[in-house]
Amino acid sequence: MSTQIDRLKNTIAPLREALVQHPINSFIQSPAELEVFMQHHVFAVWDFMSLVKKLQQEFTCVELPWNSKGPAEVRYLINEIVLGEESDVDQNGVYISHFELYLRAMEELSFMPSPFLQELRTYASLDELLLAIPKAAIPESVKQFLSFTFSAIKNRTPEEVAAIFTFGREDIIPEMFQVIVDQLKRDAPEKVETLVYYLERHIEVDGGHHSELAYRMMDYLCGDEEEKWARATQAAVESLQVRLKLWDGIVHNR
């Protein structure tokens, strides 16, 4: 790992510690609290895909005629993540995206997602979406989270978007589900089959391999340019700050 990566990680360490110590990690103690969490968090599962696709646009060729673009190592990282997120398999071996898997888990638990989640798919451009988010009937913390993601996708540099992806989106702690999942596995195992599979798959797919490739991507994008590292660091800080606000919104929405 490079010295610059170490410096960036040291800068964001207090924010990551705040996430580790956040009350959200003991919040889910009942089905009602699990429902609140999933109704908020599903938006983060959804917008993560747009973050991934932005990186795919930046670092792989999605135009015709095809030409190689960027280092093969970065292309491999992005394509592998897109494959895993967009076309994984469910517990029965059927192809499905992680977002669709999450929605299925909510359906099994009889948790209804916000109608705005369906509305999001009707917007044809980032401009339309960014105008719609502030007017949506969703919690303020979710609005801030979505606005940050899509403003970054639209306006920020490749190294900033990559930093948001690398340092701001891989800190969901599956253990926060453990108490209620264990309880539901005893009381109604059929209701949490997909949720348990989603969590296990999340841990398996987002392991150290992806993290190491993401660090290499950051080194390639920023190189020895201090300005790029500064922008990337600030983007990582902001992404963790908005994640903390999302967690605050869940805990305060009992």
Longest CA–CA separation in the chain, Å = 56
Q: What's residue 254's pLDDT?
A: 59
Q: What's residue 61's pLDDT?
A: 92
Q: What's residue 196's pLDDT?
A: 84
Q: What's residue 205's pLDDT?
A: 66
Q: What's residue 199's pLDDT?
A: 81
Q: What's residue 172's pLDDT?
A: 47
- Within 13 Å and on the Cβ side, how many CA atoms surround 123? 15
Burial of residue 141 (CB within 10 Å: 0-12, 13-18, 19+) is: buried
Dihedral sign of CA atoms 144, 146, 149, 151 in order: negative
In whole angstroms, give the CA distance from residue 126 to residue 112: 26
Structure tokens belonging to residue 219: 């080194």
pLDDT digits 0-9 by tens, 123-179? 989 999 999 999 999 999 999 999 999 999 999 999 999 999 988 875 445 555 666
Any idea what the Cα angle at residue 97 is, between residues 96 and 103, rounded to 5°? 95
Cβ-Cβ contacts under 8 Å for 193 (sequence gap 6 or more): 91, 108
pLDDT digits 0-9 by tens, 80-128? 888 888 999 999 999 999 999 999 999 999 999 999 998 988 898 999 9
With a pLDDT cut of 70, the percent of the chain lying above it is: 91
Evaluate if residue 207 carries a pLDDT over 60. Answer: no
What average pLDDT does this structure show over 216-232? 94
Confidence of residue 24 (pLDDT cuts 50, 70, 90): confident
Evaluate if residue 208 carries a pLDDT over 70. Answer: no
